[in-house]
Structure 1
Amino acid sequence: MSVFKPLSKLYLKDSSNIVAKWYIQISIEVTKMNIRKLSKDEMDYSISMSEFAFQLELTDEQRQQRKDMMNPEETWVAVENDEIISKVTTLPFKTYIQGKEFLMGGVSGVVTWPENRRGGLVKTLLKKSLEEMKEKEQTISFLFPFSIPFYRKYGWELFTDKKLVTVKKDQFPRFPKRTGTIRRVSKDYELLSSIYEKFAPRFNGMLVRDKKWWNGRLFANMKGQMAVYYDEQGEAQGYLAYDVKHRVMKVHELVYLNTDAWKSLWHFISDHDSMIETVEYKTSANDPALFFISNPLVEQKVEAYFMARIVDVKPFLSQYPFHLAEGETVVLHVEDEFCEWNNGTYFITNREVKFFEQAKEGASCTHPPKRGVTCTVQHLTAMLLNYQKPTTLLYFDAISGSENEIKLLEKVIPAREPAFYDFF
């Protein structure tokens, strides 16, 4: 891409007077910008960019771990005068939505050198990334935002919050000892994954974790101990990842498949009362478990967490398991300023999804629709991941449509809560 100087009016001073002259400067190339993929020999430079941007200081071991997890083909870069000045990485994941696996593009490592910011580089790289996600049939994308308003401009929307909970020693739940046993275990991928993969599909947005992710990201960064609850039949039904330091137990993950597992793991936590004063743990914002302890008046802090964006609406809707009865039809008019291929009307039945591309401006059929729900792609994402109800969005004028059609849409969206336990 070439950048040219505009028509300019230059004032030249000669020996007698100041003469205004017009100079037309045509095709004077100032700089060359190249958008391409990261190369293998640029991986260290890319890591250094992230270190600077996110104010990290990696050890040699941590740097090597990152390189081992990296694939340069997953990163788009903007290069100026043979120097990388901006980058965006898209990691290939799968996520659970309404109990089904969806291909997901995880946007990460969005970095631009400060002197090159506000020039539209990230916008360009995000567009390239979304186009590539569409080609790879990654119908949804997740990211952790450095700025929520910034990513909302490009169609991402919040889909989950996290709750930070602090429980003091006198608030520890004191459940009776359950049947079954708890054992400390090593960082065993097969064992822990077998529990997690039964737990995760209960929520919208949970990551499908493969062996590489467990070993290269989770175990590499997970400090402390692992404990697993086994029922009377010897089946693993829950696990706890935690560490204890300075009389504080930090629970990194608490995963359970039934009530016995949850109560037994909390009984195990309470047994540490001689060496800890508080327990700190992170959970999903809608986690109901605290309601069932004897003293739920604990310190809780809820924070916005990850954002999501439907990349390709038609195939996403086709895979999504709406609870539609025979003869019911949901009509959606979707607006997407950044990914124009999504603009249009979708007729959804229990058999198929039909898509009608948005008529071009000025065409005879561009009158307002007489039926259906009109929404942006980000509000559609928030509704289908069950982060916001259609009736709530209607109340705040975020979407439009008749009351009956809004209620139908809300009825056919399954009720799984959103959650996300990972980070990238």
Structure 2
Amino acid sequence: MEIRQLQLEDFEASLGLSEYAFQFKLNGDDRVKSKRKFKPERVWGIFEEGELSAELTLLPLQVYVQGKAVSMGGIAGVATWPENRRQGLVAKLLSHTLQTMNESGHTLSFLHPFLIPFYRRFGWEIYCEYKKYTIPVGKFPRKAEMEGRVERDKANIEVMEQLYGRFASGYNGTLLRDREWWENSVVDEDTHHCVFYSAAGEPGGYVLYKIENKELVIDEFIFMDEEARRGLWTFLANHDSMVTAAKLNLVPADDMLPFLLPDPRIPQENYPYFMARIVNAKAFVEGLTFKEQSELQKRMLYIEDEHAPWNEGLWEWKVNQQGEASLIQVKDTGEQADLRCGIGTLTVLLLGYKHPEELHRCGQLSGSLEAVEWLKGIMPQARTALFDFF
């Protein structure tokens, strides 16, 4: 058995496995385009007797954490032939990929799970969720008088890039999008966009949407302030003679729209979305900013992480008066730990998806109440989201 990056000549084998596993078929021009975009160095495979048995794609991406860019390894396209399943091949690929990400400086890894319990075994944990709304036309937000204006299908990507960056950087775990990502994964010829401009001509928000089956399908609704939100909704409400409802996808979990509607009783869904995992605990913790302290604070933390042994063990966690942290490994059995948790729990704790007291209450974080209160006292408030898919 050999684990290696794919080469250009492995394209057909890789595509064949993906077509079978994900039940699609590329023909003609689509197959040519796929080969042209194929980046074999991003795909890792397990080969047995020269045949590709399993594969995954490792995407070098960046995400916002505390408004700053953090290097993240995105895992996608995990596939195995059915005759090779339940033989531990994906487990071997994941372990190898963790090592690769650590050596490459990725401190986080994200993936969209086909089965959450499977990836939890390897340290990934749900870190965000999204809402979906279906709003009948009769329950749309009220139209508002606007001093600004909305322009449809006229803005260039730069305008939306800037608005997205300002909005997304307020959440932990949102993707930093480069131009290639915008062009290949966000906008397409079937998607409309509209941008709200204030009376002073400043862009304040945008919506990406389609009109399908007499419904507005809204894939992204980004706004900087209440004026922009109302202006964009007034534009959308002007479709009332064309559509019967609006469907909003990938809405952040902290969104307040239903509360603001004239009648909040609309179909709503909360959906656990992507999973995250700290790849290197020391690097990730030391890259965060915690609450300022009156004096140097420290506790002992034991991290359980059998699949990334460089994280496993007892650590002295210090936070100084400026909120700067250090994580220093200590040679000990862990009996002196003030706090103890698995790497998945630590991930969702530090990203802000779950809070120390609730993780402690449900048994995911162990330690004294005093230590949990200490942790609560150093953690800044945060919220998580993701508006993309890979």
Cα distance, 1:197 vs structure 2: 0.8
8 Å CA contact 1:187–1:219 kept in 2: the answer is no
Aligned residue for 1:155, secondary structure, equals: coil
The residue that corresponds to 1:354 in the other structure is: 327
CA RMSD across the alignment: 1.7
CA contact (8 A) 2:288 2:325 kept: no
CA distance in 1, matches of 2:29, 2:338: 55
Q: Which secondary structure state, in structure 2, belongs to the residue aligned with residue 276 of structure 1?
A: coil
Q: 1:62 offset after TM fit, Å?
A: 4.4
Amino acid at match of 2:329: F
Q: Cα offset for 1:64?
A: 4.6
Corresponding residue for residue 137 of structure 1? 105
Correspondence 1:391 to 2:357: yes
Q: CA deviation at 1:71?
A: 1.8
Q: Does the 8 Å CA contact 1:330/1:349 hold for their aligned counterparts?
A: no
Instruction: Give 1:386 shift.
Output: 1.3
1:417 to 377, 380, 383: 383
Which of the residues 163, 166, 173 maps onto 1:198?
Answer: 166
Counterpart in 1 of 2:306?
337
1:234 is matched with which residue: 195, 201, 209? 201
1:305 equivalent in alignment to 2:278: no
Give the counterpart of 2:130 among 154, 162, 172: 162
Instruction: Give TM-score, length-normalised by structure 2.
Output: 0.94
2:338–2:368 CA contact under 8 A, matched in 1: yes
Equivalent residue in structure 2 for 1:225, among 192, 203, 216: 192
1:281 corresponds, among 248, 252, 263, to 248
- Find the aligned partners of 2:258 and 2:30 in 1 and give their Cα distance: 36
Deviates more, 1:139-148 or 1:68-77: 68-77
- Displacement of 1:385 after TM fit? 1.2
Answer yes or no: is 1:375 the counterpart of 2:341.
yes
Deviation at 1:44, TM superposition (A): 3.5
DSSP 3-state at the match of 1:321 = coil
Whether the aligned pair in 2 keeps the contact of 1:97 and 1:205 (CA below 8 Å) is yes
C-alpha change, 1:62 and 1:259, in structure 2 (3 Å) is farther
1:312 to 1:116, Cα distance in 2 relative to 1, 3 A: same
Q: What is the match of residue 88 of structure 2?
A: 120
Match of 2:261 in 1: 293
Q: State how far apart, in whole Å, the 1-side matches of 2:345 and 2:219 are.
A: 31
* Residue correspondence of structure 1 range 16-165 to structure 2 within 5 A: 33-58=1-26, 60-165=28-133
Moved more, 222-231 or 267-276: 222-231
Separation in 2, partners of 1:204, 1:64? 37
Aligned partner letter, 1:216: N
Offset at residue 170 of structure 1 (A):
1.0
8 Å Cα contact 1:65-1:216 kept in structure 2: no
Hey, what's the Cα distance between the residues in 2 that align with 1:346 and 1:59? Answer: 56
Q: Provide, for residues 51-107 of structure 1, a one-character-per-residue CA deviation record: whole Å limited to 9, x for no partner.
A: 221122345454455445442111110111221110011100000012111000000
Q: How big is each residue's C-alpha offset from its partner over 1:5-50, in whole Å with a ceiling of 9 and x where there is no partner?
A: xxxxxxxxxxxxxxxxxxxxxxxxxxxx111110012223322322
SS in 2 for 1:227: strand
Runs of 5+ consecutive residues of structure 2 not aligned to the other structure: none
In the aligned structure 1, how far is the partner of 2:29 from the partner of 2:179? 20
Q: Hey, what's the Cα distance between the residues in 2 that align with 1:156 and 1:87?
A: 18
| 1:263 correspondence with 2:230 | yes
SS at match of 1:340: coil
**Mapped partners of 2:239, 2:328: distance in 1:** 58
Query: For 1:216-273, what per-residue CA distance to the aligned partner results, in whole angstroms no more than 9, with x for missing partners?
Result: 22224x6231100011111111101111122111001111111111111111111100
Q: Which structure has the greater CA radius of gyration?
A: 1
- Structure 1 residues 260 and 96, CA gap change in structure 2 (3 angstroms): same
Secondary structure of the 2:382 match is coil
The count of aligned residue pairs is: 384
- Three-state SS of the structure 2 residue aligned to 1:339 is coil
Could you tell me how far 1:277 is from its partner in structure 2? 0.5
- Post-superposition offset of 1:285: 2.3
Q: Are residues 1:180 and 2:148 paired? A: yes
Aligned partner letter, 2:367: G
Q: Is 1:47–1:63's contact at 8 Å kept on the other side of the alignment?
A: no
Unaligned ranges ≥5, structure 1? 1-32, 360-364
Question: Aligned partners of 1:255, 1:61: CA distance in 2, in Å?
Answer: 34
Specify the SS of the correspondent of 1:86: strand
Query: What secondary structure sits across from 2:109 in the alignment?
Result: strand
Aligned sequence identity (%): 35
Following the alignment from structure 1 to structure 2, what is the Cα–Cα distance between the partners of residues 353 and 75? 34
